């Protein structure tokens, strides 16, 4: 958004990359789970200029981490990302989408040169990483976590989440911040809800609705489900649009929902909808 400070965001992105890769990880990082790969796709969405800033920061960080003698286990997968689509929004910021598609063996099948011949793995620490098929002993590229969520809850977990989500659900989260209040738990609850015809990724904010920074995902067992969101006054279909429609602007959300037999999107009672504060008894058992 134009009212946000791009400088502060760029600094936050740099701090994010450094925090992610700053420390050595336990030996479990190299022990892959022996189970079928179940993730059909992972989707990264944010405003285009911010995504480019993160890609640049990831590349710079990885050059340092790849230096001989550097003991950091992970590289940052943002270096490999190139937006699959960019959706221009009249009067607002362009929204960028990065799509990682997998086959049932975890091979990346996204038509992106930098992602060719890479395979996704999940380790004992529930880190999700990409490794190069030609050099499996090289440093993995971290891209997300397999989060078990709240103990005993199956409504919004397990889920593919990021470090940003870890902060999003803790006390002290800034609900007016640029990252938005829609995260992996809100996504996964709608993914698991078979009565929900689409996934609404809108952050409903007092200063205007927008599409923030989030990660989405789907399993092979999940039916395709449209992904929609409102960027200021404009509704977008971001992924798996119905009836063969291409991702882009939805000119009239009322007509669009009526045409496809969907209910109108509704503002949730709060966001984030599933903060840790609502599950303290479960977390502290």
Query: Helix, strand, or coil here: 99?
Result: strand
Contact 219, 209 (CB under 8 A): no
What is the Cα–Cα distance from 285 to 273, expressed in whole angstroms? Answer: 22
Tell me what pLDDT residue 255 has.
98
Q: How far apart are CA 229 and CA 85, in angstroms?
A: 15
pLDDT in tens, the chain (285 residues): 443 444 333 434 443 444 444 334 445 677 899 999 999 999 999 999 999 999 999 999 999 887 887 778 899 999 999 999 999 999 999 999 999 999 999 999 998 888 999 999 999 999 999 999 998 888 899 999 999 988 888 899 999 999 999 999 999 999 999 999 999 999 999 999 999 999 999 999 988 999 999 999 999 999 999 999 999 999 999 999 999 999 999 999 999 999 999 999 999 999 999 999 999 766 565
- Nearest-Å Rg of the Cα atoms of the chain is 19
With 0-12 CB in 10 A as exposed, 13-18 as middle and 19+ as buried, what is 35?
Answer: exposed
CA proximity to 157, closest of 168, 146, 166: 146
**Model pLDDT, residue 282:** 62
This prediction has a pTM of 0.89
DSSP 8-class letter at 210: B
DSSP assignment of 9-64: HHHHHHHHHHHHHSS---GGGG-B--S---EEEEEEEEEHHHHHHHHHHHHHHHHH
- Looking up tokens 């698991």 gives 192
Task: Record the tokens describing residue 3, joined without a space.
Answer: 């009212």
Count Cβ atoms below 10 Å from residue 178 Cβ, excluding itself.
20
pLDDT of residue 6: 41
Query: 């990682």: which residue's tokens?
Result: 100
Please give the Cα distance from 31 to 144 (Å, whole number): 16
Can you give the pLDDT at residue 131? Answer: 96
């Amino acid at each position: 958004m134009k009212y946000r400070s791009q400088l502060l965001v760029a600094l936050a992105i740099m701090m994010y990359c450094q925090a992610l890769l700053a420390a050595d990880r336990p030996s479990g990082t190299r022990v892959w789970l022996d189970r079928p790969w179940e993730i059909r796709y992972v989707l990264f969405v944010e405003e285009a200029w911010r995504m480019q800033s993160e890609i640049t920061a990831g590349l710079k960080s990885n050059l340092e981490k790849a230096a001989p003698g550097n003991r950091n286990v992970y590289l940052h997968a943002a270096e490999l990302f190139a937006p699959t689509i960019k959706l221009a929004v009249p009067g607002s910021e362009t929204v960028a989408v990065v799509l990682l598609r997998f086959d049932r063996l975890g091979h990346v099948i996204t038509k992106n040169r930098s992602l060719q011949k890479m395979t996704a793995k999940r380790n004992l620490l529930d880190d999700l990483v990409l490794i190069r098929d030609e050099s499996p002993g090289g440093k993995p590229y971290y891209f997300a976590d397999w989060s078990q969520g709240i103990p005993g809850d199956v409504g919004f977990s397990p889920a593919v989440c990021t470090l940003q989500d870890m902060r999003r659900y803790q006390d002290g989260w800034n609900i007016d911040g640029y990252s938005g209040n829609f995260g992996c738990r809100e996504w996964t609850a709608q993914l698991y809800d078979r009565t929900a015809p689409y996934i609404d990724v809108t952050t409903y904010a007092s200063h205007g609705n927008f599409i923030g920074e989030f990660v989405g995902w789907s399993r092979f067992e999940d039916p395709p489900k449209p992904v929609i969101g409102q960027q200021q006054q404009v509704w977008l279909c971001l992924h798996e649009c119905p009836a063969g429609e291409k991702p882009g602007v939805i000119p009239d959300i009322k007509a669009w929902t009526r045409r496809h037999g969907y209910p109108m999107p509704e503002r949730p009672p709060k966001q984030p909808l599933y903060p840790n504060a609502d599950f303290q008894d479960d977390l502290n058992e």
